[in-house]
Amino acid sequence: MNIWKKLRHSTQIVPFLEERENYCVSAISRFNSGTLKNVWAAFKPNTPQTPSINALLLYGKRLLFPVFHYSSEMVEEFKHNGMPIPFLLAFILKRDSLHAAQGLADDMDLLESALEKKNIVPVSRYDYELRSFDCTGGEPSPFGFGGLSGPGRPDITGLVIRRAEVSDIDALFPLQAAYEKEEVLPKGAELNPSSCRMILGSLIINKMILVAELEGRLVGKININAQSYNRFQIGGNYVAPEYRSHGIARAMTAALIREFSTQKNRFTLFVKKTNIPARKVYDNLGFTIIGDYRISYFS
C-alpha cells in the first residue's frame, strides 16, 4: 500500500523528476522556480530503511501536476483501489479552489477520478500530443516539404526571424493576445491584458522569444515557455491568420531550436490533437510523439 507524505527536501524529489524529465518539463520548471512549493510523494516501502517514491503530486498557485509515469506497480494499485488524495492537499483544495491540472493523460485519468470523489470536476479538458526533438540527431530544416514559397503561396523570401526587443512589445501584443485566446484560455475565460503584457515583457527581457518579421510587420512569434534540467519546452508558436500555410511556423520552430541548442539540445512541446496543421509542421521537422498529454480546467 502506498503511503502519501508531504516532502520538504528536494534531494528526494529531484532524482524522481530527472528520471521522468521528458514527460514533465512544465512541472520541473515551476518546481525549480519555487512556484510549486507543496509536494506530496507516494511511498512504496521496500524496507523500513529505504522507501522509494512511486508518485508525486506538485501544487502551487492553483495548479496541480501529477507525476506518476513509469511507476507501473503504483499505477495498477491506484487503478484497482482508486488513488487517494493526501488529506492536507484535499484541505488546501477546499480553501483555494483548483484552477487547472496537467500531465500525462494516464496520470490525469487517475487524478481526475480521485478528484471527482471530492466533488472537484473539470469544466473543460484539452488533449495534446507530447512531442520531443533531440538535436544530437541533427538540426531541423526550416524548409521541410514545399519550402517557404511556391505555387499558390506569396513570396516571403524577405522573411526575417530574430530575437524580440523591448521596442516590439506593442506590435507583439496583438499576436500574444490572439495566441492566448486561441490556444491557452479555457472556454468562457476572458483575456487579462495586463497579464498578457507582463508575460511578453518577461519573455523579451529573458531573451526567450523570437519574432517573424515581413516587410516591417510582425507576422509570427514563438518562445521557450519552460525549461527543465536538460530540456527546453517550446510554446507560443503563433502566426497571424492571413500568413498561415506559408511555412512561417516551421521556419520559426527551426530557428528557435538552432538559437537555443547551444544551451540545451533536447526540446519538448505539446500540440492539440485537433490542430492538424501544427501537427504536420512538427512531423516535417522531425518531432516524435512520446505520449498523450492533457490540461484540465476546473474554474
Q: Does the pLDDT at position 269 exceed 70?
A: yes
Beta strands in the chain (DSSP E): 3-7, 38-45, 51-60, 63-67, 100-104, 124-134, 160-163, 209-214, 217-227, 231-239, 266-272, 288-297
H or E element in which residue 241 lies: none
Distance from the first to the final alpha carbon of the chain: 32
> Kindly report the CA angle at 74 between 73 and 78, in degrees rounded to 5?
120
Note the pLDDT of residue 166. 96
Helix and strand numbers (H, E) in the chain are: 9, 12
Q: What are the pLDDT digits (tens) for 10-46?
A: 788 999 999 999 999 999 999 999 999 999 998 876 6
SS3 annotation, 101-160: EEEEHHHHHHHHHHHHCCCCCCCEEEEEEEEEEEHHHCCCCCCCCCCCCCCCCCCCCCCE
Residue 105 CA to residue 128 CA, distance in Å, equals 9
- The answer to whether the CB of 40 falls within 8 A of the CB of 6 is yes
Note the pLDDT of residue 147. 40
Note the pLDDT of residue 140. 67
CB crowding 130-159: b at 16 or more within 10 Å, else e: bbbbebeeeebebebeeebeeeeeeebeeb
Note the pLDDT of residue 50. 59
Residue that wins the pLDDT comparison between 203 and 80: 203
Q: Does the pLDDT at position 251 exceed 80?
A: yes
Q: What are the pLDDT digits (tens) for 60-117?
A: 999 999 998 766 667 777 778 888 899 999 999 888 889 999 999 999 999 999 999 9
Tell me what percent of the residues of the chain surpass a pLDDT of 70: 89
Query: How crowded is residue 173: how many other Cβ atoms within 10 Å of its Cβ?
Result: 15
DSSP state for residue 243 in the 8-state scheme: G
Decide: pTM greater than 0.75.
Answer: yes
Tell me what percent of the residues of the chain surpass a pLDDT of 90: 70
* Average of per-residue pLDDT values in the chain: 89
Q: What is the mean pLDDT of residues 241-257?
A: 93
Q: Does the pLDDT at position 146 exceed 70?
A: no
Note the pLDDT of residue 154. 45
Grid cell in block for residue 36: 510549486
Q: Does the pLDDT at position 273 exceed 60?
A: yes
Grid cell in block for residue 109: 485519468
Work out the pLDDT band at 142, boundaries 50, 70, 90. low
- The answer to whether the CB of 193 falls within 8 A of the CB of 202 is no
Note the pLDDT of residue 213. 95
